[in-house]
Structure 1
Amino acid sequence: MTSALQRFRVLDLSESIAGQYCCRLMADYGATVLLVEPPEGSILRRKPPFSRNGTSLTFRHLNHGKAIRRLRPGPAVPQIGALAADADLAVVPVGFDAAALRNANPDCIVLDVSTFGAEGPYRNWQGGEMIVQALSGMMNNNGEAGRPPLFGTGNRAAYAAGLATYISGLALLLARDRGNDGRRASVDVAETAAAMSFPYVLQYAYNGTDRRRGDQEIPAGQVLCRGTWVCIWVYPFRFAAMCRTLGLAHLVGDPRFAEDADRTRNWTALFDIIQKALADRDAEEVVRQLQEAQVIAACAYRPSELARNPHLDARGFWEITQMEGDEIQVLGPPFRMSATPRRFAAAEPMPERKVAG
């Protein structure tokens, strides 16, 4: 089957989640991708979590479908120049000397990926995901009112920057095909995090409103149903429907919850009552009943539950492969194309090969 990007050759010189995720997407949709590691190996090989034999699962996830070469010790410029000779696109870390790429192949598109970019007062800062989330305003608006800023966990900003790098690369490849002279773009994780900032930041930017975590903006709460958390959105026009569905119709006339302002003042008491009513109920059944009553609700799945999610199963999200002798589920694609689907490669990256010469 023809793949959408199969005519492109990509050189992955990045040392970041953002850069390697961009190139993973290129490989998923057909591009020939070569990951070039320094002599000591990519720094992401040392990033947890690890498999039973000590291999970084993050590195495996980011580099499925890529060929891998490790540079020989010594000057890297001639080696990289030789590899870039027939590359359509190269992803490099900030500060990388692109002269060798340009000399070897003037048509090669270069994408710079970094945490803070090459300009600005933070350009020399060191910082990971927590730092960019803090700087973006995300952490200050996460969590409960009166508590310290809350880290959103994961590497959401880094993966979002990887998507931004992927999109900019595709845009430049398209522009090159149409005769445009542009051959370079830069993406930094901190700006990506700021661009996907918390709604409170957007609200202040557009109309000057300074909302705080203590403001009841989203009428939602969580209850624990037989081991699984359920999130329920209690919008005013669905409050009565929620109460009737949960067998709590008597709350509709309760003066503590009769009006919107009353419910806001007594929010904790309301969800204490809901918690007692649902503690021994099946979470999936509770969500099904609420959805049928047009009340927004969803299970807050643990990772082990997500792997058995019926909706993802029905959509064919999970893909099965072999890793270290075990059959495992692999994350599905972030988007689907009708005629050129993701071309899933073997779980094991191709063996490392020495660069000739």
Structure 2
Amino acid sequence: MTLPLEHLRVLDLTQAMAGPFCTMILGDMGADVVKIEPPSGEVSRRAMGFKGKGDDTAAFIAINRNKRSLTLDLKSEEGRELFYALAREADVICENFRPGVTSRLGIDPDTIHGINPRLVYASISGFGQTGPHSQRAGFDLIAQGMAGVMSITGEPGGDPVKSGIPLSDLGAGLYCAFGVLSAVMVAERTGRGQAIDTSLFEAALSLGIWETAELWTTGRVPQPTGSAHRLTAPYQAYRTSDGYLTVGGNNHKLWVSFCEAIGRHDFIEDERFATNEDRMANRQELEHEVEAVLQKRTTEEWMEVMGEHGVPAGPIYNYAEVFEDPHTIERGMLEQYEHPVEGTVNTLGLPLKLSETPGAIRRHAPLVGEHTAEVLREVGVDDERLAALRQSEVV
């Protein structure tokens, strides 16, 4: 099977979440991702999350599939020379060190482009390579706070709440993958690579589409709205007799259909709810009136009713329930592979489906240095030199 990115060799110097997510996406689409780790292994192998049968955490295993692992001491001269040899044959380097670290190691974009001018060099950091905050340590939580995300998440009047998923990390990883592919296309046309600079802060900030629209149009500082939309109603979660139902009645046609579904035709002409602007101005009253009706039946019963009336609606699942839904399985979002230590491992499937050249899960998350010999032989390191490198702890 042909994979869309199988022609790309990626040197992966990333760790934790944002960078490994980027390189996993590239690997899922077929890129040969060589994860270059310090001799002790990447930090998230030991420091983050639950452990199964082996030493690696579930967090590491979840985000490092489709990669080969090479251990390399980049602080040693011989380690750097080996890295340069790898860079000569590579198409992409991804790193998420704090700005300045790659210069101190001698593997910065200028140095690498002197070795391989066509290489794409991608950097993810907390706040970017420039600017007054560039040297600050960056974590998802910090970026969410400074990008405004925590100020609009949660219930009105409540304490600041972070997004349940690390959207700063994951957003930066997605942007970086998009940047890599964009720059690779340019390199294939021109023969020249370039540096990519993205950050957790900018990823989180760039996702604030509705919030910045509200700020710049009205002058109001956006506030948290719970599950409700800040621009349209009804568009939120409502209580039922046994849980919650999410409803999207965010245009006039859907609003009328929703009123018909819940048997409240009078809402259509009610001056409090006649237009979207009216519903937004009286959203709390609308919520009270709607829930008084919805709490008379179960979520499942209302799902059937909403379906009959063409109203977008859904239950709120916990993660165990997500994987009990046959749609999740039918869409291939639960896959399994065999790991040499953990045995059969569940993993999230690929959310991107290509009709002719789909991605694939081809490799388990690697053990520390599992592919060191294999990768170094590809750049001409023989067994005698490999033994010497191991003896000197360069690899």
1:231 aligned residue (225, 246, 253)? 246
> What is the alpha-carbon distance in structure 2 between the residues aligned to residue 255 and residue 164 of structure 1?
42
Seen in structure 2, the aligned counterparts of structure 1 residues 125 and 276 have a Cα distance that, compared at 3 Å, is same
Q: Which residue of 2 aligns with 1:306?
A: 322
Q: Which residue of 2 aligns with 1:331?
A: 348
**What is the CA deviation profile of residues 76-125 of structure 1, one whole-angstrom value per residue up to 9, with x for unaligned ones?**
42232122121111112332132553344332221111111121111121
> What is the alpha-carbon distance in structure 2 between the residues aligned to residue 129 and residue 269 of structure 1?
35
Secondary structure, counterpart of 2:320 in structure 1: helix
Secondary structure, counterpart of 1:34 in structure 2: strand
**What is the CA deviation profile of residues 26-74 of structure 1, one whole-angstrom value per residue up to 9, with x for unaligned ones?**
2111111100012332122234322323522221122111110111485
Letter in 1 for 2:317: Y
Q: Which residue of 2 aligns with 1:44?
A: 44
2:334 aligned residue (301, 309, 318)? 318
Structure 1 residues 100-109 or 259-268, which shifts more?
259-268
TM superposition score normalised by structure 2: 0.79
> What is the alpha-carbon distance in structure 2 between the residues aligned to residue 264 and residue 113 of structure 1?
40
Q: Which residue of 2 aligns with 1:57?
A: 58
Q: Which residue of 2 aligns with 1:157?
A: 168
Structure 1 residues 217-226 or 142-151, which shifts more?
217-226
Q: Say whether residues 1:353 and 2:372 are aligned partners.
A: yes
Seen in structure 2, the aligned counterparts of structure 1 residues 275 and 326 have a Cα distance that, compared at 3 Å, is farther
Whether the 8 Å CA contact 1:77–1:100 is kept in 2: the answer is no
Q: How does 1:100-119 map to 2 (within 5 A)?
A: 100-119=111-130
Whether the 8 Å CA contact 2:21–2:63 is kept in 1: the answer is yes
> What is the alpha-carbon distance in structure 2 between the residues aligned to residue 238 and residue 177 of structure 1?
47
Whether the 8 Å CA contact 2:14–2:95 is kept in 1: the answer is yes
2:358 aligned residue (315, 331, 341)? 341
> What is the alpha-carbon distance in structure 1 between the residues aligned to residue 141 and residue 214 of structure 2?
23
Q: Say whether residues 1:8 and 2:19 are aligned partners.
A: no
Q: How does 1:77-156 map to 2 (within 5 A)?
A: 77-93=80-96, 94-95=99-100, 96-97=102-103, 98=108, 100-156=111-167
Letter in 1 for 2:117: P
Seen in structure 2, the aligned counterparts of structure 1 residues 242 and 48 have a Cα distance that, compared at 3 Å, is same
Q: Which residue of 2 aligns with 1:269?
A: 288
Q: Which residue of 1 aligns with 2:202?
A: 191
> What is the alpha-carbon distance in structure 1 between the residues aligned to residue 36 and residue 242 of structure 2?
45
1:224 Cα deviation from its structure 2 partner: 4.9
Whether the 8 Å CA contact 1:24–1:65 is kept in 2: the answer is yes
Letter in 2 for 1:60: I
Structure 2's unaligned 5+ residue stretches are 377-385, 390-395
Secondary structure, counterpart of 2:315 in structure 1: strand
1:265 Cα deviation from its structure 2 partner: 4.9
Whether the 8 Å CA contact 2:241–2:294 is kept in 1: the answer is no
> What is the alpha-carbon distance in structure 2 between the residues aligned to residue 242 and residue 52 of structure 1?
47
**CA RMSD, Structure 1 to Structure 2 (Å):** 2.9
> What is the alpha-carbon distance in structure 2 between the residues aligned to residue 64 and residue 108 of structure 1?
23
Seen in structure 2, the aligned counterparts of structure 1 residues 44 and 265 have a Cα distance that, compared at 3 Å, is closer
Secondary structure, counterpart of 1:91 in structure 2: strand
1:227 Cα deviation from its structure 2 partner: 5.5
Whether the 8 Å CA contact 2:139–2:200 is kept in 1: the answer is no
Letter in 2 for 1:138: V
TM superposition score normalised by structure 1: 0.86
> What is the alpha-carbon distance in structure 1 between the residues aligned to residue 302 and residue 48 of structure 2?
36
2:179 aligned residue (168, 171, 196)? 168
> What is the alpha-carbon distance in structure 2 between the residues aligned to residue 353 and residue 49 of structure 1?
26
Seen in structure 2, the aligned counterparts of structure 1 residues 226 and 138 have a Cα distance that, compared at 3 Å, is same
Seen in structure 2, the aligned counterparts of structure 1 residues 46 and 217 have a Cα distance that, compared at 3 Å, is farther
2:261 aligned residue (221, 245, 254)? 245
2:272 aligned residue (259, 279, 301)? 259
Report the number of matched residues: 351
1:2 Cα deviation from its structure 2 partner: 1.2
Whether the 8 Å CA contact 1:47–1:58 is kept in 2: the answer is no
Q: Percent identity?
A: 22
> What is the alpha-carbon distance in structure 2 between the residues aligned to residue 56 and residue 322 of structure 1?
16
Structure 1 residues 72-81 or 299-308, which shifts more?
72-81
Structure 1's unaligned 5+ residue stretches are none
> What is the alpha-carbon distance in structure 2 between the residues aligned to residue 240 and residue 202 of structure 1?
27
